[in-house]
């Protein structure tokens, strides 16, 4: 009752001379100019490490999306030139600028150039009133900044009397300091902000406007349904053409550093490779393509659903050399008893001794086609469950190459609108977790084999690190390892 009353209070809009002032303040208020607020100790740690000026530039850069989308062409199903031609046709209206990667041997990587930031004129109401608004979650805003539309589940609030077809400004709700010293979003789904200065959320949205578009539902309608398009974006602060549902089996969206990880491994046809922390399978499939799908890649992740996702991605891309397993990387080396038979180098009891072939692959393909990947439903990287193989770990020195893509702090991932929750302590925990995984991974490389360690962790190697370690005589001491540039 109390909540209803306060919502009602927020929805009362009357003509107010202050509106004029708000419209005068348009450039500052209705802009995209976020400032990341860091934990004080972490900020001073980074300022010392990078220098205050450099860290402040990093912090600003993190709030912006990449200025290009990076695409890996599935060379089993297409060629870079064919993919470029199809992409140009699909993105014709958007006049997309598409180019090939110029790094030797990487011409199957394509870049679609974006633009921004651009200033947007939000003054759409002739009577001087502030624009009608749709407030979205951070997750939704990140997607919009990378070319997506606003879908119903991403909408948190909506100013009163938004009608279907209205032009609305789209703003983001970002965590604010809470009374208990923590962080709160404070805005729950269904909130009705006003846009005027009396609106309790007025200040919080200043400088957090990401574009405008046409509402496809009324304010009441948006909160009556669970899915569907809410705002058809016409102008965005950053323009990156959306590649959702585009050439699905022929291309894969992947950031350049992740593709480079597969090259650092330099996989050869016929090798046996372990990919630890493999889901959703981006690097696994990149490696499989470099191996021309010949050999075996054991792709392990601890999440059941994500392992299921690797099956589906491999099936979608037509890759047969991938064997997905559910496995905790902290237990990836199996304990050896004298009686154990390691002829297949796996301690996995229910190991089906091969790759996802025959019926497994067919089922995964059927599941993938049946699912039809609905908007706001499970995406390429999400799965709804099903059977997966479990592994009990692998015999020491049983792989030609091991890739460890340990979960990182995600501190350097753009575009970020909030950084308040990370602390020095949480960074330390990540470092310890990664170190324990690395201790396991190195034991699985055969003498003469290679380990690639890919992470993003400021305590270990700056904002990103790909380490390539060779083991001419087998693994001896981790402390002797040197990163490879």
Ligand X SMILES: C[S@@+](CC[C@H](N)C(=O)[O-])C[C@H]1O[C@@H](n2cnc3c(N)ncnc32)[C@H](O)[C@@H]1O
Least distance from ligand X to the Cβ atom of residue 303, Å? 4
What length does the chain have?
485
Least distance from ligand X to the Cβ atom of residue 144, Å? 23
Least distance from ligand X to the Cβ atom of residue 74, Å? 15
Site string for ligand X, 388-407 (x = CB under 6 A): -----------------x-x
Could you list the beta-strand ranges (E) of 97-142. 97-100, 109-113, 133-136
Please tell me whether residue 278 binds ligand X under the rule CB under 6 A.
yes
Q: Is 278 annotated as a binding residue?
A: yes
Q: How far apart are CA 470 and CA 482, in angstroms?
A: 9
Reduced to 3 states, what is the DSSP secondary structure of residue 116?
coil
Both tokens of 262, joined, read 């597969």
Please tell me whether residue 465 binds ligand X under the rule CB under 6 A.
no
Q: Which is nearer to ligand X, 275 or 360 (CB)?
A: 275
Longest Cα separation, the chain: 86
Please, what sign has the CA dihedral across residues 236, 237, 239, 244? negative
- Stretch near ligand X under the rule CB under 6 A, chosen from 62-70, 299-307, 364-372, 383-391: 299-307
Least distance from ligand X to the Cβ atom of residue 207, Å? 31
**Residue of the chain from 70, 145, 174, 277 that contacts ligand X (CB under 6 A):** 277
Do the beta carbons of residue 415 and residue 64 sit within 8 Å? yes
Please, what sign has the CA dihedral across residues 456, 461, 463, 467? negative
- Stretch near ligand X under the rule CB under 6 A, chosen from 67-75, 297-305, 371-379, 383-391: 297-305
Number of residues counted as binding ligand X (CB under 6 A): 17
Please tell me whether residue 302 binds ligand X under the rule CB under 6 A.
yes
Q: Is 354 annotated as a binding residue?
A: no
**Residue of the chain from 114, 147, 281, 396 that contacts ligand X (CB under 6 A):** 281
Do the beta carbons of residue 14 and residue 189 sit within 8 Å? no
Q: Is 207 annotated as a binding residue?
A: no
Half-sphere exposure of 201 (CA within 13 A, CB side): 28
Please tell me whether residue 306 binds ligand X under the rule CB under 6 A.
yes
Q: What is the CA radius of gyration of the chain?
A: 25
Site string for ligand X, 408-447 (x = CB under 6 A): ----------------------------------------
Half-sphere exposure of 329 (CA within 13 A, CB side): 26
**Residue of the chain from 71, 279, 442, 481 that contacts ligand X (CB under 6 A):** 279
Q: How far apart are CA 430 and CA 410, in angstroms?
A: 10
Q: Is 282 annotated as a binding residue?
A: yes
Do the beta carbons of residue 113 and residue 67 sit within 8 Å? yes
In the range 220-259, which residues lie near ligand X by CB under 6 A?
258
Q: Is 141 annotated as a binding residue?
A: no
Reduced to 3 states, what is the DSSP secondary structure of residue 325?
strand
Reduced to 3 states, what is the DSSP secondary structure of residue 299?
strand
Q: Is 100 annotated as a binding residue?
A: no
Contacts with ligand X, residue ranges (CB under 6 A): 258, 277-283, 301-303, 306, 328-330, 405, 407
Which residues make up each annotated binding site for S-adenosyl-L-methionine? 277-283, 301, 328, 405
């Amino acid at each position: 009752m109390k909540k209803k009353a306060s919502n009602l209070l927020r929805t009362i809009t009357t003509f107010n001379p202050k509106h004029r002032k708000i419209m005068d303040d348009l450039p500052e208020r209705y802009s995209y100019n976020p400032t990341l607020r860091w934990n004080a100790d972490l900020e001073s740690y980074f300022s010392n490490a990078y220098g205050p000026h450099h860290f402040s530039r990093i912090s600003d850069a993190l709030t912006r999306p990449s200025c290009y989308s990076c695409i890996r062409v599935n060379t089993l199903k297409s060629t870079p030139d064919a993919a470029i031609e199809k992409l140009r046709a699909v993105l014709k209206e958007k006049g997309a600028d598409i180019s090939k990667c110029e790094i030797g041997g990487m011409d199957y990587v394509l870049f679609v150039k974006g633009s921004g930031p651009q200033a947007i004129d939000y003054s759409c109401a002739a009577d001087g009133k502030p624009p009608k608004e749709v407030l979205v979650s951070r997750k939704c805003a990140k997607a919009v900044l990378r070319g997506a539309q606003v879908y119903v589940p991403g909408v948190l609030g909506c100013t009163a009397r938004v009608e279907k077809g209205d032009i609305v400004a789209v703003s983001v709700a970002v965590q604010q300091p809470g009374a208990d010293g923590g962080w709160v979003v404070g805005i729950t789904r269904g909130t009705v902000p006003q846009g005027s200065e009396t609106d309790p959320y007025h200040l919080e949205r200043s400088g957090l406007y990401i574009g405008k578009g046409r509402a496809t539902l009324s304010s009441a309608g948006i909160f009556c349904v669970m899915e569907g398009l809410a705002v058809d974006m016409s102008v965005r602060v950053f323009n990156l053409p959306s590649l959702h549902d585009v050439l699905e089996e022929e291309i894969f969206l992947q950031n350049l550093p992740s593709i480079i990880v597969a090259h650092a491994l330099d996989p050869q046809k016929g090798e046996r490779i372990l990919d630890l922390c493999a889901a959703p399978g981006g690097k696994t499939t990149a490696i499989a393509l470099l191996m021309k799908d010949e050999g075996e890649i054991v792709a392990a992740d601890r999440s059941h659903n994500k392992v299921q996702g690797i099956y589906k991605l491999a099936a979608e891309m037509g890759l047969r050399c991938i064997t997905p397993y559910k496995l905790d990387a902290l237990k990836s080396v199996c304990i050896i008893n004298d009686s154990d038979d390691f002829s297949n180098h796996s301690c996995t009891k229910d190991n089906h001794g091969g790759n996802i072939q025959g019926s497994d692959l067919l089922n995964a393909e059927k599941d993938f086609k049946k699912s039809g990947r609905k908007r706001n439903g499970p995406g390429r990287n999400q799965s709804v469950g099903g059977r997966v193989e479990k592994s009990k770990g692998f015999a020491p020195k049983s792989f030609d190459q091991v890739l460890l893509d340990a979960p990182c702090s995600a501190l350097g991932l753009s575009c970020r609108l909030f950084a308040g929750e990370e602390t020095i302590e949480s960074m330390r925990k990540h470092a310890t977790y990664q170190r324990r995984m690395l201790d396991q991974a190195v034991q699985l490389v055969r003498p003469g084999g290679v380990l690639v360690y890919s992470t993003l962790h400021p305590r270990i190697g700056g904002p990103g690190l790909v380490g390539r370690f060779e083991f001419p005589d087998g693994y001896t001491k981790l402390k002797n390892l040197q990163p490879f540039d």
